Amino acid sequence: MFRKMKWSKALIVAAALVLLAACSTPPSEKPSEASNKPTPEASQNSDADLPEVKLTWYFPGSFPQADQELVFAEVNKKLKEKINATVDFKPLGFGEYDQKMQVVIASGAPYDIAFTSNWINIYSQNVAKGAFLPLDDLLAQYAPKSFAAVPQSFWDAARVKGKIYGFVNEQIAARTPAVVVSKEEAEKYKLDIPAISGKLTPDTLPLLEPYLQNVRKDFPQKGFVTSLVQLDGLFFNLEPIAGIQIPGAVDFSDPTLKVVNQYETEGVKKYAALMREWNAKGYLNSSERISKKADDGTEVKAGKVAVGIGGSYKPGGEVELSAEVGYERLQLPSGTAHLTTGGIIATMQAINRNSKNPERALMLLELINTDKEIYNLLNFGIQDKHFKLDADGFMVKEGDASQAYNPNVPWMFATNFLAYVEKGKSKTVWEETKQVNKDAAPSQLLGFTFDAEPVKAEIGKVSALFDEYSRAIDLGVSTEAKYNEFLAKQKVAGSDKIIAEMQKQIDAWKAAK
Amino acid sequence: MAFKKIGPQVWINLLFILFCLSCIFPLFAILSVSFSNETDIIQNGYRLFPAMFDFSAYAYILYKPLQILNAFKVSIFVSFFGTLVSLLITAGIAYPLAREDFKLKNKLSFYVFFTMLFNGGLVPTYMLINNYLHLSNTIWVLILPYLAVPWFILILRSFMQKIPHSIIESCMMDGASEFRIFFQIILPLAKPGLATVALFMLLQYWNDWWLSLLYIEKESLVPLQFMLYRMMNNISFLTNSSNMMPPGMKNVVLPSESARMAMAIVAAGPMLLVFPFFQKYFVRGLTVGAVKG
């Protein structure tokens, strides 16, 4: 008996040791640093001399698409011709991408390119893990055109500790929530557009009230829909450091970069008070909306929204908004657009540290970012099969056949500005978008990314609090006492510690700059 | 006397009727939503009985039946073939572990039990299957990892321990070989246990989406549950995280509420039919296994 016990104990210890050993060697350490440095002669070779390679590319979107294999085969034909490479496309649905990438990255698989951002396959976490290759030297050498085309401030936003790990796809990076109304109603009930467009703040939000009342006279079921999550910090002239859910934001106009709790600012408090008032007047349809955790767009489709604020204003956005509901809608910028790190790093491709052909991967990205034909093939499918270009050069997607390939992620493959313009949008929509990006007020925190690791536990607690209280605040069904209770509970959960940590990191970042 | 007994009877029955209702109600609600008209749902919310019968959700998911039929094929093959092989292997391990005269019985039992507490973890498993065994994107990756589940082995072992050893001894005296004893005596006697474990296995294979999430990238090998999981997950991602995403995803056409429910019914349906078939053995198998557990 005794001997048997010893046996099994030894076995446990042995097994535990094996497990520990397996865990303590992260696979990402394996490749030598030498592979990071491009071989200089490779770039001097003409394209014809390039050896054939197969690259692997993971990306999210509305996948699977029925005809995706057809389209990818077509793309590969063209890539083979131009850069003697083919790509093993690994398209994944949004719901599975995050989970899958975590395993793929942890296993040290030698894929080449992966989409990364601040909302899926999180950039800062992956960089911290050492999953991606620094691109500083490679960019100028292998992707000179795209490197020059993207504004320097965008590259700076992608820097982590001074190095660029992400290839930025340009898109509408300047963000401000959009005010969305029905076009017909706006004309009929006299929405005062010049007074509202770009000028809404928590103080001027009541300007919408006369319009709301007018609409509700004829359509009493229509109300006002927005939420803290949709307004984001932007509406309150704040830049949240770790998302609106987590206390800690910097005022755009504060040069000292002082981190404050956004829920203790006058702006958010005024918003909460106004929502209480509007709920008392019945504008918010709160008794119906409270049955759901978030507004998922069904209210609009059910015809119960007079004014909605949310999403992001962008040139040409009304075409998509109208297509969503089947009648014409208007969008107005709610405030001044701001250029934040989050808006820029929302769309990037990263190259795997374990990639065997990083320079070829960059050449591929360069090609897709400069070759209109290949980009649009990936984006819309095969011309005359999945989309048509009309006489004026607008892109038309009509009929069932066209839906066999429609991943709907133009900003994912490469820079959005190469896309054929959809019919209905202005011909110069991309120039307008570039202008919005250019005109936007750049955040003073551009290039700063918060490392949440030291206060992970506190962040978990306060975001649970946000889930508990925010819906009631948005629907105006809470009281001021409840709001103060929310603030008090945040304190207990460690909001001060989070804010102090943010301040510390920002100060260190500022000093390093 | 008779009067006294009625009170508790009523309470017990009432309790179980309520319990029964709370089990049936969600299923019924899903069924009802799947037959509802989409605009009705948006305007009036969910109802227990559809205001108007509408088959458009089923028409929608069966409009291009190839994908869903293929997923069915994968799911059915994996479930039935997997269960069959897994049952054979599980019984094959459980039987020696249940034999009193097997010397390594305890050590082997411990070995099986040990894997219940400790395993390689997600990443090493992924690396083994993907990088070394190269099983990714094959149908076998959906079957092999669940072939020998320690929990099922232990259930079946306890069940087989109930079979008196003297039966085996008398068979040996009659000159039966070990294989003959196993296939002709033990397996038939262990039928209730086998049926119980088989049902568990079937459910495990049928409901699994995890293996396909990790290892399947080829559309032709996607099983039904993974299709459903993917669809639901995409919807919840798009509704919850859309404010972080670059604008423009809003006009993605999501399957309607009723189509999702119809999909759930289609995925759950076959198992609902299989269950009564096993039920005969089910209760017996479970309790017998539990006594010695």
CB proximity list for B43: less than 8 A, separation 6 or greater? A302
Is 80 exceeded by the pLDDT of residue B39? no
B107: closest CA of chain A, how far (Å): 8
B259: closest CA of chain A, how far (Å): 15
Cα–Cα distance between A452 and A334 in angstroms, integer? 30
Q: Which of B54, B75, B94 is the last residue of a domain?
A: B54
Cα–Cα distance between B249 and A117 in angstroms, integer? 15
The CB density around residue A162, as the number of other CB atoms within 10 Å, is 11
Say whether A411 and B239 touch across the interface (CB within 8 A). Answer: no
Residue ranges covered by each domain of chain A: 31-171+340-430, 177-336+451-513
- Cβ-based contacts of B107 with chain A (< 8 Å): 7
Is 90 exceeded by the pLDDT of residue A261? yes
Say whether B243 and A64 touch across the interface (CB within 8 A). Answer: no
The mean pLDDT of chain A is 86
Cα–Cα distance between A258 and A499 in angstroms, integer? 10
Establish if B59 belongs to a structural domain: no
Q: Which of A409, A413, A381 is nearest to A395 (CA)?
A: A381
Report, as an integer, the average pLDDT of B51-69: 78
pTM of this structure: 0.81
Say whether B120 and A19 touch across the interface (CB within 8 A). Answer: yes
User: What is the enclosing helix (H) or strand (E) of A259?
Assistant: strand A259-260
Highest mean pLDDT among A70-79, A318-327, A382-391, B112-121: A70-79
Matching fold, domains A31-171+340-430 and A177-336+451-513: yes
What is the per-residue pLDDT across A474-511, written as a single tens digit (0 to 9) for each?
A: 999 989 999 999 999 999 999 999 999 999 999 998 98
The SS3 assignment for A292 reads: coil
Q: Indicate if B72 and B11 belong to the same structural domain.
A: no
DSSP one-letter code for A56: E
Say whether A109 and B130 touch across the interface (CB within 8 A). Answer: yes
Is 80 exceeded by the pLDDT of residue B277? no
End-to-end Cα spacing for chain B: 38
Chain B: residue whose CA lies nearest to A304: B43
Helix axes B150-161, B105-117, angle to 10 degrees: 140
pLDDT on residue A52:
92
Say whether B121 and A19 touch across the interface (CB within 8 A). Answer: yes
Rounded to an integer, what is the distance from CA A417 to the centroid of its chain?
Answer: 17
- Are A326 and A183 spatial neighbours (Cβ–Cβ below 8 Å)? no
Domain ranges, residue B33: 1-54
Say whether B246 and A230 touch across the interface (CB within 8 A). Answer: no
Nearest CB to B247 within list A16, A103, A314 = A314
Cα–Cα distance between A433 and A439 in angstroms, integer? 10
The CB density around residue B200, as the number of other CB atoms within 10 Å, is 20
More confident residue, A237 or A11: A237
Cα–Cα distance between B102 and B96 in angstroms, integer? 7
Say whether A19 and B238 touch across the interface (CB within 8 A). Answer: no
Instruction: Match 């829920």 to its residue by tokens.
Output: A263
Q: Indicate if B194 and B283 belong to the same structural domain.
A: yes
| A238, β-bridge pairs | A251
Say whether A301 and B42 touch across the interface (CB within 8 A). Answer: yes
More confident residue, B150 or A43: B150
Q: Indicate if B11 and B137 belong to the same structural domain.
A: no
The SS3 assignment for A53 reads: strand
Say whether A320 and B213 touch across the interface (CB within 8 A). Answer: no
Chain B: residue whose CA lies nearest to A14: B118
More confident residue, A324 or B26: B26
Say whether A119 and B241 touch across the interface (CB within 8 A). Answer: yes
Please, what CATH class does the domain formed by A31-171+340-430 belong to?
A: alpha beta
Pairing mode, strands A113-116 and A348-351: antiparallel
Q: Indicate if B37 and B71 belong to the same structural domain.
A: no
CATH number, position B205: 1.10.3720.10
Nearest CB to B247 within list A19, A95, A317 = A317
- Cβ-based contacts of B245 with chain A (< 8 Å): 119-120, 346
Q: Which of A498, A508, A511, A512 is nearest to A240 (CA)?
A: A498
DSSP one-letter code for B75: H
Identify the residue among B237, B241, B254 best suited for mutation to test binding to A, counting A beta carbons within 10 A and taking the highest.
B237
| Structure-token pair, residue B266 | 């289609």
- Band (pLDDT 50/70/90 cuts) for residue A38 is very low
| Window from A153-157, A374-378, B24-28, B237-241 with minimum mean pLDDT | B237-241
DSSP one-letter code for A417: G
Establish if B173 belongs to a structural domain: yes
Helix axes A495-512, A480-493, angle to 10 degrees: 60
Nearest CB to B126 within list A107, A291, A411 = A107
More confident residue, A90 or B254: A90
Q: Indicate if B204 and B136 belong to the same structural domain.
A: yes
Share of chain A above pLDDT 90, in %: 55
User: What is the enclosing helix (H) or strand (E) of A369?
Assistant: helix A358-370
Rounded to an integer, what is the distance from CA A36 to the centroid of its chain?
Answer: 28
- Are A73 and A105 spatial neighbours (Cβ–Cβ below 8 Å)? no
Q: Indicate if B39 and B74 belong to the same structural domain.
A: no
A109: closest CA of chain B, how far (Å): 8
- Are B42 and B28 spatial neighbours (Cβ–Cβ below 8 Å)? no
| A88, β-bridge pairs | A56
- Cβ-based contacts of A347 with chain B (< 8 Å): 246
Cα–Cα distance between B200 and B210 in angstroms, integer? 17
Category of A310 on φ-ψ map: left (φ > 0), alpha (ψ -120 to 50) or beta: left
- Are A173 and A154 spatial neighbours (Cβ–Cβ below 8 Å)? yes
Decide if domain A177-336+451-513 falls under CATH 3.40.190.10: yes
What is the per-residue pLDDT across B82-133, written as a single tens digit (0 to 9) for each?
A: 999 999 999 999 999 999 889 999 999 999 999 988 888 888 999 999 889 9
Pairing mode, strands A166-168 and A249-251: unpaired
pLDDT on residue B64:
67
DSSP one-letter code for A122: B
- Cβ-based contacts of A118 with chain B (< 8 Å): 244
More confident residue, A198 or B5: A198
Nearest CB to B244 within list A15, A119, A294 = A119
Q: Indicate if B24 and B98 belong to the same structural domain.
A: no
pLDDT on residue B49:
81
- Cβ-based contacts of A296 with chain B (< 8 Å): 239
pLDDT on residue B253:
56
How many domains are there within chain B? Answer: 2
Say whether A346 and B122 touch across the interface (CB within 8 A). Answer: no
pLDDT on residue B58:
82
Say whether A107 and B130 touch across the interface (CB within 8 A). Answer: yes
B61: closest CA of chain A, how far (Å): 14
Q: Indicate if B175 and B255 belong to the same structural domain.
A: yes
Q: Indicate if B3 and B83 belong to the same structural domain.
A: no
A344: closest CA of chain B, how far (Å): 9
Say whether A408 and B130 touch across the interface (CB within 8 A). Answer: no
Cα–Cα distance between A10 and A5 in angstroms, integer? 9
pLDDT on residue B234:
79
pLDDT on residue B241:
64
Cα–Cα distance between A250 and A242 in angstroms, integer? 11
B79: closest CA of chain A, how far (Å): 23
| Structure-token pair, residue B76 | 């059915």
Work out how many CB contacts closer than 8 A connect A with B: 119
- Are A267 and A214 spatial neighbours (Cβ–Cβ below 8 Å)? no
User: What is the enclosing helix (H) or strand (E) of A458?
Assistant: helix A456-474
Establish if B30 belongs to a structural domain: yes
Instruction: Match 């990191």 to its residue by tokens.
Output: A505
Say whether A95 and B236 touch across the interface (CB within 8 A). Answer: yes
The SS3 assignment for A50 reads: coil
